[in-house]
Structure 1
Amino acid sequence: MLYEMRTYRLKTGTVPAYVKLVAEEGIALQKSHLGQLVGYFTSDIGPLNEIVHIWAYASLDDRAARRARLNADPAWLAFLPKIQALIETMENKILLPTAFSPLN
């Protein structure tokens, strides 16, 4: 099992609009293709205007196949410009759990 942590820095003041769009349209599309959502968060202390979401995958190949299916979905492609207009920067990390991690 591996985890993908995606962090988006949004334009100041756009977190509510981003969260509303994802809740109403995006998350169902993502879940239908990406599978296991570990968590979806907003920042409150530290760097502000950030969204962090974490997804679990069986392997890098599983992740690549699932993301390819999402990126081929016409509904996702129509949705993307709505949130891309709110995003300033994006960071992506692949996290591997340690043997003693509760998410192993």
Structure 2
Amino acid sequence: MIYEERNYSFAPANFRPFLTLFEAEGLPLVRGHLGHLVAYFTAETGQLNTAVHIWGFEDLVDRDRRRTALWNDPQWIAFSAKVLPWIVGMENRLLKPTGFSPLH
């Protein structure tokens, strides 16, 4: 397994509207394509107004296949057009669990 950590930062006025819209419209779409949502967080310290989500994939090929399908979905593209202007920062990391990790 590999895990993808994605962090999106927003202007304060757009953060709560993003969370509301993502839960209602975006989450069903992205879950349908990416599958295994490990966690979804909001930051309480550090860079505020940040959404942190972690997705699990079998391997890099699985991740690439799923993300390609997501970005070929017209509904996802329409949703993204609504929220991409609200994003002021993005960070992405691919993580590999150690042999002793509970997520191994």
TM-score band (shorter)? over 0.9
Three-state SS of the structure 1 residue aligned to 2:33 is: helix
Three-state SS of the structure 1 residue aligned to 2:12 is: coil
Query: For structure 1, which segment, 60-69 or 83-92, has the greater mean C-alpha deviation from structure 2 after superposition?
Result: 83-92
Once residues 2 and 47 of structure 2 are traced to their aligned partners in structure 1, the CA distance between those partners, rounded to angstroms, is: 25
RMSD over equivalenced CA pairs, Å: 0.7
Equivalent in the alignment of 1:41: 41
Q: Within 5 Å, which residues of 2 pair with 1:1-104?
A: 1-104=1-104
Displacement of 1:13 after TM fit? 2.6
User: Where in structure 1 are there 5+ consecutive unaligned residues?
Assistant: none
- TM-score w.r.t. the length of structure 2 is 0.97
Displacement of 1:42 after TM fit? 0.7
Runs of 4+ in 1 over 6 A off after TM superposition: none
Amino acid at match of 1:34: L
How many residues are treated as equivalent by the alignment?
104
**How many percent of aligned residue pairs carry the same amino acid?**
45
> Would you say the 8 A contact 1:13–1:49 is kept in 2?
no
User: Where in structure 2 are there 5+ consecutive unaligned residues?
Assistant: none
